[in-house]
Structure formats: structure tokens, C-alpha cells
């Protein structure tokens, strides 16, 4: 299975400077442990602050491991800093429009597009619109929100595990990959795998891990 780390520096202790240091260190550890994707999701930052942090995060990734960096929501920042792609929310422009822009700006380089989805129907739309993969949430719960998860059956409907072999990479030749997000911990990962998820995504899953390499190995084995 694939692993998708979503950052949130506000969950670290300390002041703003200390949180930034801890975020960068966690990014380094995640990249060194070969987490597949790292999504920079620091929504409170201004454009200039986000670009500055994105460059630091990208530098940390490139020197530590093979992880690929996606910027939340901001296609412009992703293209400006040379990130590997963007993570689109439901309020963003269509993946097809992002693809056209990325091809114009970076014609010889691949650009990954992930899409936030909350139902199997939205996953199908994301695929039809040209996204590379979808992050489906919340499967079990949404952090700090009293809301029920959409459940494993919806994940099964979105992933269609019976239609093709389980993907081990984001590859156009494989079935459309769906990542499970929302209340996914080390125990629930296997449930998501059984439901057909190509990978799992989370904040706490990575940021609170005491042994990231071991966590990655255990998820890879599913």
C-alpha cells in the first residue's frame, strides 16, 4: 500500500518557529522512511509564507528520500516552487484545467493531481476529470469534528477492487488509486486495504508515529 502524509504544523507543541522546525524534521523523517507522498497543507499561511515553506519542505524531501511533494489547493505555488503536484479541494478548478496549465508551464515534466472526494460518485468524477488519484474522506471520522465517517462500504464502491489488481504505484496502467483518509490508524490500515484502498492518508498517522520506518514497512506489507 501507498502512504500519503498530510502536514499540519499547528499540531506540534511550541511557538510558530518551533512548530516550523518540527514540521521540517517530520518531513525529513517521512522522506527518509520513503513515505510516497507529502501534502503541504498549511492553509493559514499567506502566499509568500506558503511559498517560502514549500521551498524548505521540497529541499528537505529532495535530500532525504524519494517522497513526492504536493501542495494543497495552490496550483500556482506548486508550479512556482517545482513541487511534484497539487492536491485539489472540491472548490478548486477542475483537474483537466490544472492539467492544461501544468502542461503549458512544465511541458516536459510530470505533474500529479490529487483530488479530495467524499463519495464514490465524486471519485468517479475526479477520474473522469483527469486526476491521478483521489483521497476519500472521512472513512472513519474527521479530526475534531463530530461527524460520522462514510464507512468502508463507500470506500469499496469507490475503489472497485474487483475490477483490477491492487495498485502498488500511481500508474496510469493501474486502476484509479483511492486513498483512505479520516481516522485511519495503524490498526485500521488493514481494513482499508481489504476494502480496496491503494493507500492510506493522514496527519496523525505520520506526525504521531514513534517509529516511522516500522510503520511504513507494516503498511507496505498489506
Give the residue numbers spanning the domain of 184. 2-220
Please enumerate in sequence order all residues whose Cβ is within 8 A of that of 138, keeping only pairs 6 or more positions apart, or say none.
118, 147, 149, 150, 181, 182, 183
pLDDT, one tens digit for every residue, the chain (222 residues): 999 999 999 999 999 999 999 999 999 999 999 999 999 999 999 999 999 999 999 999 999 999 999 999 999 999 999 999 999 999 999 999 999 999 999 999 999 999 999 999 999 999 999 999 999 999 997 655 556 899 999 999 999 745 544 444 444 345 899 999 999 998 899 999 999 999 999 999 999 999 999 999 999 999
CATH code, domain with 64: 3.20.20.70
DSSP per residue, 124-152: HHHHHTT-SEEEE--SSEETTEEEE---H
- Report how many domains make up the chain: 1
Amino acid at each position: 500500500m501507498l502512504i500519503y502524509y498530510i502536514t499540519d504544523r499547528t499540531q506540534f507543541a511550541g511557538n510558530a518557529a518551533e512548530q516550523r522546525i518540527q514540521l521540517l524534521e517530520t518531513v525529513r523523517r517521512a522522506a527518509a522512511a520513503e513515505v510516497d507522498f507529502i501534502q503541504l497543507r498549511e492553509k493559514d499561511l499567506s502566499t509568500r509564507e506558503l511559498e517560502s515553506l514549500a521551498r524548505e519542505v521540497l529541499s528537505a524531501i529532495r535530500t532525504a528520500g524519494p517522497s513526492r511533494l504536493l501542495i494543497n489547493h495552490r496550483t500556482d505555488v506548486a508550479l512556482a516552487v517545482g513541487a511534484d503536484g497539487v492536491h485539489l479541494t472540491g472548490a478548486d478548478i477542475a483537474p483537466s484545467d490544472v492539467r492544461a496549465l501544468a502542461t503549458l508551464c512544465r511541458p516536459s515534466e510530470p505533474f500529479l493531481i490529487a483530488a479530495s472526494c467524499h463519495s464514490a460518485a465524486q471519485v468517479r468524477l475526479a477520474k473522469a476529470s483527469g486526476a491521478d488519484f483521489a483521497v476519500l474522506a472521512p472513512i472513519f471520522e474527521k479530526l475534531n469534528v463530530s461527524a460520522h465517517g462514510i464507512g468502508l462500504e463507500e470506500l469499496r464502491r469507490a475503489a472497485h477492487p474487483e475490477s483490477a489488481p491492487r495498485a502498488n504505484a500511481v500508474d496510469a496502467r493501474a486502476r484509479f488509486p483511492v486513498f483512505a483518509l479520516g481516522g485511519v490508524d495503524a490498526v485500521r490500515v488493514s481494513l482499508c486495504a481489504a476494502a480496496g484502498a491503494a493507500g492510506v492518508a493522514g496527519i496523525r498517522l505520520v506526525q504521531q508515529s514513534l517509529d516511522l520506518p516500522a510503520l511504513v514497512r507494516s503498511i507496505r506489507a498489506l
